[in-house]
Amino acid sequence: MVSALSHITFIVRDLDRMEALLTTVLGATKVYDSGDSPHSLARERFFVVGDGLWLAIMEGDPPPARSYNHVAFKIDDSEYEDYRARITARGLELREDRARVLGEGRSLYFYDDDNHLFELHSGTLEERLQRYGQD
């Protein structure tokens, strides 16, 4: 049985550029850098974000095109504008949010330079299910 999410890996062209995004926007902490001695398929770095979520970045060919496939990170609604400022300060492209119903939380969607889509979401699954159940 699956017990939890282990880690998320992003394939990127530029490890330094992605590290800057992870540390300045998500507040991630770097805990490993393979340097020129990778133990996996390519050079990689590991980060911890939030309450211990392990993010890995690996040098390689990223997705060739943008899509709606994304990873969503939980934020507090009171920090929404702070995160918007972090994203725009890095010059990242904010994607238009989808239509929302009141009570399901707010989201900031943004692309990195390698076609990955990130979401910062202020709601919870429980809140969304409760709100959708009202229709």
Residues 58, 24: Cα–Cα separation, whole Å: 19
- Cα→Cα distances 109→1, 22, 31, 34, 36, Å: 32, 15, 26, 30, 33
How many CA atoms does the CB half-sphere of 26 hold within 13 Å?
28
* Helix and strand element counts for the chain (H, E): 3, 8
Q: Is the separation of the CB atoms in 10 and 113 below 8 Å? A: no
- Spot the catalytic one: 19, 44, 79, 126: 44
- 44 assigned to active site: yes
The greatest distance separating any two alpha carbons of the chain, rounded to the nearest whole angstrom, comes to: 55
Q: Catalytic site residues?
A: 44
